[in-house]
Amino acid sequence: MKARDFLTISAAAATALALGSAVARAEIPETTIQMAHVYNPGNIWFETTEKYAEGIEAATDGKVTVNIAPGGTTGTWQEAIEALQIGTNNVVLESIGTLDRYDPLPGIEAFPYLIRDLDHFKKVYYGDMGGELADEIEERTGFKIVGAGYRGARKLSANKKVETPDDLKGLKLRVPPLKMYRRTWELLDASPVPMPALEIYTALQQGVIDGQENPLEVIYTFKWYEHQPYVMSTDHVIGAMTFIFDANWFNSQPEELQQILIDEGEKAMLWATDQMLAKEGEYEKLLEENGVEIVQPDMEAFRATVAPIKDEFPELKDWVERINAVQ
């Protein structure tokens, strides 16, 4: 084939592809998607939803607009997810584990010391296993999840130094209202207090709780360090954020729009992962500058103390073994 002929064919193929995309976009009706989350300006996850919205609007030539309700303005994350089922929300940004209220499987995201490090995180969530996990979660819960964003390792912040599990005895510790988190800290002999994230600052300020656990980025941007002089690098969970849809709503959309929601969601979560990696060390320095002491606890003691949890969630056994086996 002559070079000129190849270029002609390539140009024709490009034209056909462009026309096909134009036809696809023409089949997408003008609509508004309602998105909700509990994060505030300056937070990576706040910015991630904006990236997602911009990507959707650009990919649909403005036919689809995204209205974002940030900072818990439409309620707690539990209420936001419930609103997906009645249609007042279409997408919520939260961690995969928040869906364990509907089935135990999503709780695998919060299984203590299961994800070993960033490399392991990427191999689990960005490979075939991540797709299988998402599909099974959808089948079991009725929610579709799109993308996986690295949250950073979860740390313990408290009003006292904690170096071993023995130091946790009786510590009133805020945990997300999810089974896996509550049981993890019960095994560590703390006193877990399930509470919405939006109530943590006031609860710390008033002494209702002695501590909480979250990634550094959340501890810093929500200013919980103002009442927590110690942050312990327990690194007990390396979690994943995601975009959550009601599966029935998602599957009722035109196929072209479904693909855009998937493609742009995955892009936004990859962007968030890169941002978190770039800033994780910065958050530690900022906390230290605000008087926080970063404590390196006895990690082996923490791991050993929570190890029996594997026997308490037998329905997760196969997935735990598969994830552990990823090298």
Residue 209's SS3 state is coil
Tell which residue, 23, 301, 76, has the closest CA to residue 166: 301
8 Å CB contact between 184 and 152 = no
* Residue 50 resides in a domain: no
Tell which residue, 32, 42, 43, has the closest CA to residue 68: 32
8 Å CB contact between 135 and 185 = no
146 - beta bridge partners?
243
Q: Is the pLDDT assigned to residue 106 strictly greater than 60?
A: yes
As for how many domains the chain has, the answer is 1
Q: Is the pLDDT assigned to residue 294 strictly greater than 70?
A: yes
The Cα 250–Cα 144 span in angstroms is: 8
* Residue 57 resides in a domain: no
Calculate mean pLDDT across residues 225-240: 96
The Cα 10–Cα 96 span in angstroms is: 42
pTM of the model: 0.86
* Domain interval for residue 278: 94-325
Work out the pLDDT band at 26, boundaries 50, 70, 90. low
The reported pLDDT for the residue numbered 20 is 47
* Residue 76 resides in a domain: no
* Residue 79 resides in a domain: no
* Residue 169 resides in a domain: yes
The reported pLDDT for the residue numbered 192 is 96
Q: Is the pLDDT assigned to residue 19 strictly greater than 50?
A: no
* Residue 67 resides in a domain: no
* Residue 293 resides in a domain: yes
Q: What is the mean pLDDT of the chain?
A: 91
pLDDT above 70: percentage of residues in the chain: 92
* Residue 171 resides in a domain: yes
State the CATH number of the domain containing residue 301. 3.40.190.170
46-93: pLDDT as tens digits: 999 999 999 999 999 999 999 999 999 989 999 999 999 999 999 999
